[in-house]
Amino acid sequence: MKRTWWKESVIYQIYPRSFNDTTGNGIGDIPGIIQKLDYIKSLGVDVIWLCPVYESPNDDNGYDISDYRKISAEFGGQDAFNELLDKVHGYGMKLVMDLVANHSSDEHFWFTEAKKSKDNPYRDYYIWKDGKGDQPPNNWVSFFSGSAWKKDDTTNQYFLHLFTKKQPDLNWENPKVRQEIYDIIEFWSEKGVDGFRMDVISLISKLQDFPPLDTSDYGEIIRSYYANGPRIHEYLHEMNQKVLSKYDIMTVGEGPGIDLENGPLYVNEDREELNMVFHFDHMFIDNGPLGKYDPVAVNLPRFKKVFSDWDKRLHPKGWGSIFLGNHDFSRMVSRFGNDGEYRTQSAKLLAALLLTLRGTPYIYQGDEIGMTNVAFSTIDDYNDVETVNAWKEAEASGRDMKKFLNGVHRQSRDNARTPMQWDASAYAGFSDHKPWLQINPNYKSVNVAAAEDSVDSILQFYKEMISLRKEYSTLVYGDFKDLAPEHLQLFVYVRKDEAAEFLILHNFSEEEVTWPDMPKLDQYKLLKSNYASAEASKTLQPWQTKIFLKQ
């Protein structure tokens, strides 16, 4: 297996809107990130991934880009970005940008031109179809509810938008579109950016016959109709050859519909496409019968199997990315841990998991202090377009809205987007103005300042786990084997290579659990635990992690 910097890196994801506001408008900004670089560096991370900071009307908080070469003025503009990039490099870290190439904003110049007439030179930058009578061209639905087509009155044709109406899908069949995207990648790479996280890259190649959806199984729609289209690998290889391969940059493709079968096609190094992908096999694991907002309990054997299967499937030619949360999902401690009595222990356990699996770990801002889900009392307090649209759709279809609000509390993307909790002062030290999204009321106790003051905080544990990963390359490259795949409470695995062997146990339950198959412990040293006084025994306390090193 080839050794590379991006395999050995720990990545910290920033959602700029919610990170740190220096201008007092309630919205985070780039100078706010610069102000916190000492903090980020102190974690021990190597790379910062910045969610979109380009010019955008913010219909989907930056995932609708109106100018790919301009940094949004709201975030501080180009000068602030240049300073950030310089300073990040000065700290010995790297900076990865988000690239949203499946769609643009409808306010992008390409689209405002394209709309003008059927023979506009930009018309073919997007996907236009005639309607069927007064109905859209087909029954494709948007990820964010409703039809995926919107009629444009100027020419009486419909354009495709897999996300909001303000995010028209680009037409990758058009070589000019592809070249535009490669030029954008080149533009930022020339400025010294160290890589790209490519938004919904699995969706860029469309089935050209736009077949009607079989709506009997909504769960399969993405995989069967939208993702992994016929030319996806041709495009990614072309992108790699034309631009990516010219730079020492990392790429991680985000991909609904990327699965065990097609995953290696994206990341097998011989194919020269992407370095890593984000699949969602563990992130849609708690979708219930009525979908995302009807969540069911996470089944541990299934959860573990996702990691084992992917590890097996990708190696040795591919490389995984390990994440348990991001700006699109609820908080990892609330979802996979216990955000009540065992918040501290379970957040540490999840940190240990994140940092001891094979694959590059991605830490989402705030998870390092154990930030939790939030439960706003009314839908009016939610901002996320996905949540708000899903609410309207549910209401129109007569669902039980009290139950739905519970689902929103558990699953809304806004859970991860409440402002970063820096200290116990008003607005959590995020801003001196009312923030764009309410702060989680637990900020008085859950905040960075408190965590920095405590020797056994979640934050401190993250730092220790990151440095442990740096100390032992076995934790990066070593083989992974699940020793108890069927166990309902424990996740037990070995990480092993010529240099070292680790035995790692996590108790995903509120009970004390003993692992009967534990090997003789005289050969093992207990290296680390999330409990202050931990014994080198085969019994684990609630949400306890034990990391043993074979002697």
d(CA 28, CA 23): 8
Beta pairing, strands 128-129 & 157-160? antiparallel
**Selection from 289, 278, 423 nearest residue 361 by Cα:** 278
Q: How many C-beta neighbours within 10 Å does residue 506 have? A: 26
Do residues 219 and 162 make contact, with C-beta atoms less than 8 angstroms apart? no
Gyration radius (Cα) of the chain, Å: 23
Residue from the set 28, 256, 370, 429 that interacts with ligand TEU by CB under 6 A: 256
Residue 379 three-state SS: helix
Q: Tell me if 238 contacts ligand TEU by CB under 6 A.
A: no
What binding mask, one character per residue, do residues 408-447 give for ligand TEU by CB under 6 A, x or -?
-----x----------------------------------
Catalytic option among 152, 199, 238, 286: 199
Minimum CB distance to ligand TEU, residue 199 (Å): 5
What binding mask, one character per residue, do residues 74-103 give for ligand TEU by CB under 6 A, x or -?
--------------------------x---
Residue from the set 21, 74, 199, 311 that interacts with ligand TEU by CB under 6 A: 199
Residue from the set 200, 276, 324, 458 that interacts with ligand TEU by CB under 6 A: 200
Q: Tell me if 163 contacts ligand TEU by CB under 6 A.
A: yes
How big is the site for ligand TEU, counted in residues (CB under 6 A)?
Answer: 14
Q: Tell me if 60 contacts ligand TEU by CB under 6 A.
A: yes
Residue from the set 74, 169, 367, 386 that interacts with ligand TEU by CB under 6 A: 386
Minimum CB distance to ligand TEU, residue 256 (Å): 4
Helical H runs in 226-342?
232-242, 263-267, 300-314, 332-335
Where b means 16+ CB within 10 Å and e means fewer, 537-548 reads eeebbbbbbbbb
Residue (36 or 161) nearer to ligand TEU, CB: 161
Q: Tell me if 328 contacts ligand TEU by CB under 6 A.
A: yes
Residue (267 or 465) nearer to ligand TEU, CB: 267
Catalytic option among 46, 60, 106, 254: 254
d(CA 96, CA 195): 5
Residue (28 or 256) nearer to ligand TEU, CB: 256
Residue (34 or 394) nearer to ligand TEU, CB: 394
Do residues 492 and 504 make contact, with C-beta atoms less than 8 angstroms apart? yes
Residues 340-379 that bind ligand TEU (CB under 6 A): none
Q: Does 199 participate in catalysis according to the annotation?
A: yes
Do residues 243 and 186 make contact, with C-beta atoms less than 8 angstroms apart? yes
Amino acid at 175: P
Residues 129-158 that bind ligand TEU (CB under 6 A): 143
**Selection from 142, 181, 178 nearest residue 160 by Cα:** 142
**Selection from 322, 254, 247 nearest residue 94 by Cα:** 247
Residues 283-312 that bind ligand TEU (CB under 6 A): 292
Q: How many C-beta neighbours within 10 Å does residue 90 have? A: 10
Q: Tell me if 227 contacts ligand TEU by CB under 6 A.
A: no
* Distance separating the N- and C-terminal Cα atoms of the chain: 25
Instruction: Give me the residues that bind ligand TEU (CB under 6 A), please.
Output: 60, 63, 100, 143, 163, 199-200, 254, 256, 292, 327-328, 386, 413
Give catalytic residues, as residue numbers. Answer: 199, 254
